[in-house]
Structure 1
Amino acid sequence: MVAAKLDVAGAAPAYFRRARPLPSLFTVLALGYLALAVFWPHSIPYQSLGPLGFFTKYLVDHHHTLLHRGYWLAWLIHVGEALYAMVLCKYKGITNVRARLLWFLQTFVFGIASLSILIAYRPKRHKQT
């Protein structure tokens, strides 16, 4: 993990933390599976996946438009989360361009698994005398 660097004012301009592995893995697998169902439905072994395969086959056969729109909606939500991460960086005093870019990219790919870490971050503020 990248450690926070404090400046004189007490803000953390280079604060960045990697997203937790399990939620990140779940996000990548879910988006990957959805992409397979939307763009390459013939490549999914439906019989081997039990109830998930049965449900996916039903959606592919009867509601492909819904799947397609849901796929793009999921990415649109990730874009919104990434943009919100930029707003949070500014609000929380993260001024380092590299740290902001890392937050944007990580939140775009992993969504709430990354954004929740940034939301929970409480920068230390020094008292003004």
Structure 2
Amino acid sequence: MAKSDGCSYFRRSSLFWIVTVTVSLGFFTWTVFWPQDVPYGSLGPLGALAKHLVDYHYSVLYYGWYLTWVIHLFEALYALKVCSDKGIDNTSTRMLWFAQTFLYGIASLGLLLKYKPDGRPKRQ
């Protein structure tokens, strides 16, 4: 959804990225917090890799999960700055960019970075 008014520009990430990131982070969360419930044998090579990581590198998975969300938070905060720089002033639109970037990361931030506003001066 893109509006012609530059101060309220928002574009949703593609369905491909929404599904990919949701399934990936969901599986990551499942393996970190409920590793005993994951059907590793039914997942083929992905299950074997996940089982190996859970058995031998669990602390990396655990801290990596938190690092993933910290990175997404910083991307979302950066999205707010980019909104300001590009003249997107509408509060609800800025919150949409923040939420979408927090959930889907660079798949959302990339859309915002590609946006070229009309000739209005940048905000400082």
Q: TM-score, normalised by structure 1?
A: 0.90
Aligned ranges for residues 1-129 of structure 1 at < 5 Å? 1-5=1-5, 12-125=6-119
How far did residue 25 of structure 1 move?
A: 1.2
RMSD between aligned residues: 1.3
| Counterpart amino acid of residue 21 in structure 2 | T
Give me the whole-angstrom Cα distance separating, in 2, the residues matched to 1:4 and 1:58.
Answer: 50
Runs of 4+ aligned structure 1 residues displaced above 2 Å come to none
**Bigger Cα Rg:** 1
Q: Taking structure 1 as reference, are residues 126 and 70 closer, same or farther at Cα in structure 2, changes over 3 Å only? A: closer
How far did residue 2 of structure 1 move?
A: 4.0
How far did residue 65 of structure 1 move?
A: 0.5
SS of 2:7's equivalent in the other structure is coil
Task: Write out per-residue CA displacement over residues 11-54 of structure 1, whole angstroms, 9 at most, x where no aligned residue.
Answer: x1111111111012111111111100100011111011111100
Greater helix share, structure number: 2
Give me the whole-angstrom Cα distance separating, in 2, the residues matched to 1:56 and 1:102.
Answer: 33
Q: Give the number of equivalent residue pairs.
A: 121
18-27 vs 75-84, which deviates more? 18-27
Task: Write out per-residue CA displacement over residues 49-85 of structure 1, whole angstroms, 9 at most, x where no aligned residue.
Answer: 1111001000101111110011001001100100000
Give me the whole-angstrom Cα distance separating, in 2, the residues matched to 1:113 and 1:78.
Answer: 11
CA contact under 8 A between 1:45 and 1:53: conserved in structure 2? yes
Q: TM-score, normalised by structure 2?
A: 0.93
Give me the whole-angstrom Cα distance separating, in 1, the residues matched to 2:66 and 2:85.
Answer: 29
SS of 1:50's equivalent in the other structure is helix
Give aligned-pair identity as a percent.
Answer: 45
SS of 2:13's equivalent in the other structure is coil
**Unaligned 5+ residue runs, structure 1?**
6-11
